[in-house]
Structure 1
Amino acid sequence: MASWTATLATLALCLTVAAAVDIWNVDQLEQAKKGQDQVIRVRNINVPAGKSLDFQGLDGRTIEFHGRVTFGYAEWSGHLIIIKGKNMKIKGMPGHLIDGEGHRWWDKCGGNCGKKKPFMIYTQLEQSTVDGLKIKNTPAWCFAINQCNNVHYSNIDIDNKDGHSKGGHNTDGFDVHKSRNIRIYNSKVNNQDDCLAINSGWDIVFENNVCEGGHGIAVAVGGYDVNEAKNILIKNCKVIKNNIGIRVKTLLNGKGIVDGVTFDNVELKDISEIGIVIIGNYLNSGPRGEPTGGIPIKNLNINNVRGNVLHNGTNIQINVAPGSPSGWIWKSNVWGGRKNPNCKGTPGNLNNPCNW
C-alpha cells in the first residue's frame, strides 16, 4: 500500500512538473503557445528591439515572471509587452523585475515630441488577474487597460522615480479605456504623469493605492471614440508630492457623460499646484476658454478628501459650465494653499467648496 501511495505521489509530481515550461527567449515563447503547458515561466528574457513580448493565444494559462526582463532599444510606437486573452493569471514572482530602462528614451517630451516611445504593457483581458508585477523605468505610459472586462490588477509596483531627474514624461501608471468591472488595488506608482487616468469605462474601483511624484488621480473624459465614465470609485488612496491631487476633467467642446464618480477617504500630501480640480474646459495643452457642458458631470461625491497643498498652490479649482453638473456631494478639508475666488458652475444644491 505504501509503495502504491509513493507511486501516485511521484506521478502527481511528474504531472505538476510537466504542466509548466520555462522560456528564456521570444522564440521559445512562440513554441510554448503551441504546447499544452498550463504555466509559462518567463526567465531573464531580453526582448529584441522593436518587438513585443507577446502573450496572445494563451487563454486559460498562467504567466509567471522570474528574474529580469529587458528590451532592446528602438524608437517605435508599439508595446513592449502585450497580454491579451481570457481566464489568464499573470504573476510576478519574488525577485523578478520588468525593466524598461526608460532613460534611453526619456527626453522630457513624453509622447508630445522628441523620440518615439513605446507603451510598456498593453492588456486586453477578460476574467483574469494581474498580480505582483514590479515594473521599473517605463519609456512612457505603463499600463494600457483597454477593452478589459472583469479583471483585477493587484500588488503592482510601478517605479519611475528615476524619471524625475532624467527626463521622464507621460509615464502614466494605469490608463483605462472602454473597460468594465476593473479593480486596481494595493499598488504603488511613482511617476511623472497621471497615477490613474480613466478615459472611459464602467464599474471601476481604484483602492488602497499610493501615488507619488506625478499628476494625481484623474477621470479624464473626451476626445476618444467612447466618452463615458460611470460608477467610478477611488477609495482609501494616498497622493503624495504630486502637482495635482485628484481631478475630473472633461474635454472642451466634447460630448459624453461622467456619472457616479466617488472619491472616498483620499489623503493628499504636499500637493504643489491644485488639491482638487473639476473642470469642463480641458485640452491636452492645458485648460482653455470657457467650459462647455457637452460632458456633464453628474453625481460626483467628494467624501473625506483631505490634506495639504503647498503655499504657492491652490486648494480647490472648479470651472464647469453652469447648469451642466448635478447631484454633487462634497466633504473635503484641503488646506495650505490659496483659496480660489473664481470657482464657478457648482450645482445649486451645494455651497461653493472653494470658499470653505
Structure 2
Amino acid sequence: RGSIPTFFGNMETKMVSLGLLLFVMAASAVDVNDISQLRAAKNSKRITLRNINVPAGVTLDLGKLKTGTVVEFAGEITFGYKEWEGPLILIGGKNIKVEGKPGHLINCQGERWWDKEGGNGGKTKPKFLAVRLTDSSVDGLVIKNTPAHGISINSCKNVEFTKITLNVADGHQKGGHNTDGFDVGNSEKIRIAYSNVNNQDDCLAINSVNDITFEHNTCIGGHGISIGSVGGRKNNVVQKVKVLHCKVIDSDNGIRIKTVKGATGEVKDILFDDVELKNIAKRGIVIQGNYLNKSPDGDPTGGVPITGLTINNVRGNVLPGGANVYVWVANASNWKWSNIKVTGGKKDLGQKGVPPGVKW
C-alpha cells in the first residue's frame, strides 16, 4: 500500500506536464487576420492567415520563417490595388509546410490590372507568389485571377508543390496576359504534382533547373508545358526534367522546348512521357532554337544544345490551322522519340536539325 501514492503522484506529475505541453503548443499557434500582426506571428511555428486584406503595394511577407514553421491559408485572402512589381506574397525558409485549409481562396482580383498587355506594357502588374524554400512543401492552395505571373520558384531546393489550383480562366475574356502558372529558375529537386492551371501563358516554364518532376497535372487555355526560354540569364542550364502523365487542353502549344537565338546554355536529359493533348491551336510538339519573345527569327542557333531528349506516348489533336510537330534546331543529339500520335494539324512549318533516326 505504501507504493500506491507514489504511483499516483508520478501519474499526476505526468498529466500536469502534458497539460503544460498542450498549453504551450496551443499558445504557439497564431491566427493572423491583419497584416500588422504578421511580424509578431513569425515568432511562432504555426501561423494561420485568415481573411486578410493585404494593403495596396505591400507584400504579404512570409520570408525568413523559423525552421519547421507551418503556414495555413484560411478564409479569403485579398489584396489592395496598386501598379507595382510585387510580389503579392513571399514565402521563404527551411523545412516549411504551407497548406491551404478547406474552403479558403487567395483572390488576387487580377482583372483590375488586366489590359491585354501583360508584362509587355500598359499597367505595371505585380507578380503573385515568390517562393524561396528548402526541404519544404506547398499543398492545396486555391488561387484565383493573378495579375500576371503566378508562382515563381527561384533558388529553391527539395520542394514539393501538390494539389495547387491556379484559376485565371476569367482572363480569357477580360484581357489576362503573361499569367504564367509555375516559373522555375535556379532551383533543384522540385516536384509539382496533381495540380490544375487555367491561364494565358505557359502552364510550366523552366528557365534553369537541376532535377524537376512535373506529373499528373492539367494545363488549360495557356501556352502549354515549356522548357525555356533557355538563354540570356545567369544560369542557363536545364537538366533532369521529367514531365509525366499530364494533360494539355485548349492551349496554343502542347509541349515545347525553346532556346534563345544567339544565346548559350544547355538542355539535357529531358523526358516527356504519357502526355495527352486536346485542341491545340498552334503546335503539338515544338522544339525551337531561334526563340525571341515576340516571334521566331530566321535560322536556329546552336549555342544551347539539346541532348538526351526522350518523348514517348504523346498523343492527341491539333486544330487544322496548327502544326502537329515542329522541330527547328541547330545543335541536337541523342533523341529518342516513340509512340507519337499527334494529328489534325494541317500547317507545315518545315523542319531543321532533326537528329538521325527521329521520326513521328
Partner of 1:340: 348
Residue by residue over 1:299-335, the C-alpha shift from the partner in whole angstroms, topping out at 9 and shown as x without a partner, is: 10111010011122111111111xx100001121101
Q: Find the aligned partners of 1:164 and 1:349 in 2 and give their Cα distance.
A: 40
From 28, 39, 57, the counterpart of 2:37: 28
Give the conservation status (yes or no) of the 8 Å contact 2:284–2:317: yes
* Deviation larger for 88-97 or 10-19: 10-19
* Deviation larger for 115-124 or 12-21: 12-21
Residue by residue over 1:231-279, the C-alpha shift from the partner in whole angstroms, topping out at 9 and shown as x without a partner, is: 1000000001101101001000010110011101000011111100001
Give the conservation status (yes or no) of the 8 Å contact 1:152–1:183: yes
* Deviation larger for 112-121 or 85-94: 85-94
Equivalent residue letter for 2:225 = I
From 64, 74, 80, the counterpart of 1:72: 80
Note closer, same or farther for the CA distance 1:302–1:27 as it changes in structure 2 (3 Å cut).
same
The alpha-carbon deviation at position 19 of structure 1 amounts to: 2.2
Give the conservation status (yes or no) of the 8 Å contact 1:327–1:349: no
Counterpart secondary structure, 2:24: helix
Note closer, same or farther for the CA distance 1:266–1:341 as it changes in structure 2 (3 Å cut).
same
- Structure 1 unaligned spans of 5+: none
* Deviation larger for 1-10 or 269-278: 1-10
Q: Find the aligned partners of 2:155 and 2:91 in 1 and give their Cα distance.
A: 12
Partner of 1:90: 98
Partner of 2:181: 173
Partner of 1:299: 308
Equivalent residue letter for 1:79 = P
How big is the alpha-carbon RMSD for the aligned residues of Structure 1 and Structure 2? 1.4
Give the conservation status (yes or no) of the 8 Å contact 1:202–1:230: yes
1:120 maps onto 2:141 in alignment: no
Q: Find the aligned partners of 2:347 and 2:223 in 1 and give their Cα distance.
A: 20
From 254, 257, 260, the counterpart of 1:248: 257
Equivalent residue letter for 1:268 = L
Partner of 1:315: 324
Partner of 2:213: 205
From 217, 225, 228, the counterpart of 2:234: 225
Counterpart secondary structure, 1:18: helix
Note closer, same or farther for the CA distance 1:341–1:121 as it changes in structure 2 (3 Å cut).
closer
Partner of 1:158: 166
The alpha-carbon deviation at position 202 of structure 1 amounts to: 0.6
Q: Find the aligned partners of 1:146 and 1:286 in 2 and give their Cα distance.
A: 26
Q: Find the aligned partners of 1:71 and 1:257 in 2 and give their Cα distance.
A: 39
Residue by residue over 1:179-236, the C-alpha shift from the partner in whole angstroms, topping out at 9 and shown as x without a partner, is: 0000000100000000000001110100000000100000011121111100100000
Equivalent residue letter for 1:252 = K
Partner of 2:290: 281
Partner of 1:45: 52
Counterpart secondary structure, 1:337: coil
Give the conservation status (yes or no) of the 8 Å contact 1:91–1:133: yes
Give the conservation status (yes or no) of the 8 Å contact 1:198–1:229: yes
Aligned residues with identical type, % of pairs: 52
Equivalent residue letter for 2:47 = I
Counterpart secondary structure, 2:316: strand
1:239 maps onto 2:242 in alignment: no
Q: Find the aligned partners of 2:63 and 2:268 in 1 and give their Cα distance.
A: 34
Give the conservation status (yes or no) of the 8 Å contact 1:274–1:317: yes
Q: Find the aligned partners of 1:135 and 1:95 in 2 and give their Cα distance.
A: 12
Runs of 4+ in 1 over 3 A off after TM superposition: 1-13
Equivalent residue letter for 1:314 = A
Q: Find the aligned partners of 1:312 and 1:349 in 2 and give their Cα distance.
A: 28
Q: Find the aligned partners of 2:226 and 2:244 in 1 and give their Cα distance.
A: 13
Equivalent residue letter for 1:317 = Y
Partner of 1:108: 116
TM-score by length of 1: 0.95
Give the conservation status (yes or no) of the 8 Å contact 2:45–2:66: no
Partner of 1:330: 337
Partner of 2:194: 186
Note closer, same or farther for the CA distance 1:14–1:231 as it changes in structure 2 (3 Å cut).
same
Residue by residue over 1:156-197, the C-alpha shift from the partner in whole angstroms, topping out at 9 and shown as x without a partner, is: 000000000000000000000000000000100000000000
Q: Find the aligned partners of 1:9 and 1:230 in 2 and give their Cα distance.
A: 50
Equivalent residue letter for 1:262 = L
Partner of 1:59: 66
The alpha-carbon deviation at position 27 of structure 1 amounts to: 1.2
Q: Find the aligned partners of 1:282 and 1:128 in 2 and give their Cα distance.
A: 34
Equivalent residue letter for 2:61 = D
Q: Find the aligned partners of 2:86 and 2:50 in 1 and give their Cα distance.
A: 23
- Structure 2 unaligned spans of 5+: 1-7
Q: Find the aligned partners of 1:346 and 1:141 in 2 and give their Cα distance.
A: 33
Q: Find the aligned partners of 1:188 and 1:139 in 2 and give their Cα distance.
A: 18
Q: Find the aligned partners of 1:108 and 1:176 in 2 and give their Cα distance.
A: 24
